[in-house]
Chains A and B, each alone.
Chain A
Amino acid sequence: GENVEQHPSTLSVQEGDSAVIKCTYSDSASNYFPWYKQELGKGPQLIIDIRSNVGEKKDQRIAVTLNKTAKHFSLHITETQPEDSAVYFCAASLTTDSWGKLQFGAGTQVVVTP
């Protein structure tokens, strides 16, 4: 089955700087890669996702890149703000006409210091 590794486990950045979180996956057939943000005491919230037919996707200060050959994908947050402090999870799955299990990474605790 799919295995997703996520690095780093913790990331401390100065407000205004960029943050990068990297994930690798094992199943080359995986074709869907979402990122979730989890604030303290809340459930994870989808912030961006990418499919395997796309190499990069941006949404304001957030971008995700995908390298299918190397089987890794990354989350980039620019101009970080204190409200970006949270735990971020990457995930991977093979979605077809039937159900494909979404495999999550272990998470990255991001702390943005003013």
Chain B
Amino acid sequence: GAGVSQSPSNKVTEKGKDVELRCDPISGHTALYWYRQSLGQGLEFLIYFQGNSAPDKSGLPSDRFSAERTGGSVSTLTIQRTQQEDSAVYLCASSLAGLNEKLFFGSGTQLSVL
């Protein structure tokens, strides 16, 4: 595809359920980032993948959050035992070479935890 693709675009879940959010980066981009955007707030860094290097997970807010990237391409962000405070837009971005430069963002997944 031409851009970063995220699915689903919207997800409504009940408190305590697990959710999986998917990101398809731009083909050939070695770096992949997950950010969280709460209503009216800036972008909060969650996790960064660069090639085969160990991911930087320093932004994950709790051990309920995890992410993986298979084959250096598609990434999945998993939130276990969701809480209402997890409600936000989850944005994925990719870049050609990493190091924060020229991130291309997807349209995000709007997560609502009831």
Give the interface of A toward B (CB within 8 A): 4, 6, 32, 34, 36, 41-46, 49, 89, 91, 93, 95-96, 99-107
Chain A residues with Cβ below 8 Å from B108 are: 43
Closest chain B residue to A93, Cβ basis? B100
Q: Are B42 and A100 interface neighbours, CB within 8 A?
A: no
The answer to the question of B99 belonging to the interface, with a C-beta cut-off of 8 Å to chain A, is yes
Closest chain B residue to A43, Cβ basis? B105
A4 to chain B, nearest CB (A): 8
Contact A43 B45, CB 8 Å, known A32-B100, A95-B100: no
Q: Are A106 and B50 interface neighbours, CB within 8 A?
A: no
Please tell me which one of the listed residues A4, A36, A89, A99 contacts residue B48 in the complex, with CB atoms under 8 A apart: A99
Chain B residues with Cβ below 8 Å from A106 are: 40-42
B95 to chain A, nearest CB (A): 10
The answer to the question of B102 belonging to the interface, with a C-beta cut-off of 8 Å to chain A, is yes
Closest chain B residue to A4, Cβ basis? B42
Chain B residues with Cβ below 8 Å from A6 are: 42
Extra 7 A-B pairs, beta carbons < 8 Å, given A44-B91, A100-B99, A106-B42: A32-B101, A34-B100, A43-B106, A43-B108, A46-B103, A100-B100, A104-B35
